[in-house]
Structure 1
């Protein structure tokens, strides 16, 4: 085998090993979704990533649902959710590793009609 091919194969194996062991040194992330909708409607949430479907969850008023995970070594983790309540249906990326890696490891999203808020910083719904 050509030496450049051997080097490439070794590099790929090292990257794969780092990805497999990334859980050993990357901090676990917790995403919490809190229903603060006025009028106390039930909030229906469905979250997914490229690898996982976390299912549909119904969150009563002033309650929360949460999940946790270890982010990717390659900074590619993305969890996106749909949010539904009577008369409304929206989407939002509750964890985008490129955006959130240095912003939160306890990502507590308060859901309001105008959009989700991470602590006191409110975002707009995805288009």
Structure 2
């Protein structure tokens, strides 16, 4: 019983200390509007289970980005919902940390880069991404 009580009290504080001392990896998620300037703006709403980043209008070439540290258990998930004219799509922009670390190796600023284009959504784990690194992942729904 004492062991359970000890773990119940100490474990949450240990997680806070490890996060404060940057033991967990940091990530930079970028959502960039690669759509042509038109009367239909790109609307984006992004959130995680803990943070609602709000709704935004992104103009041509505008970069909406945020930095966060993954949890100790590596279960952080961010999703975004996109609207452009009559089209829309929602998906996870961060869930699998390995996608954002491939070939990069830094601990504090591992990039997850999403480019929104008329034909769909492109991903790269480089910032700034060379055009050859962008891979189409999703179509508009």
Query: What TM-score, normalized by structure 2, do the two folds share?
Result: 0.73
Instruction: Measure the CA separation in 1 of the matches of 2:114 and 2:10.
Output: 36
For 1:111, the equivalent position in structure 2 comes to 116
Instruction: Measure the CA separation in 2 of the matches of 1:86 and 1:126.
Output: 11
For 1:7, the equivalent position in structure 2 comes to 3
Instruction: Measure the CA separation in 2 of the matches of 1:118 and 1:58.
Output: 20
Gaps of 5+ in 1: none
Query: What TM-score, normalized by structure 1, do the two folds share?
Result: 0.80
Q: How many residues align?
A: 119
How much is the aligned-residue C-alpha RMSD, in angstroms? 2.1
**CA gap 1:9/1:89 in 2 versus in 1, 3 angstroms:** same
Gaps of 5+ in 2: 101-109, 125-133
Is the Cα–Cα contact under 8 Å of residues 122 and 137 in structure 2 kept in the other structure?
yes
For 1:40, the equivalent position in structure 2 comes to 37
Instruction: Measure the CA separation in 2 of the matches of 1:124 and 1:15.
Output: 39
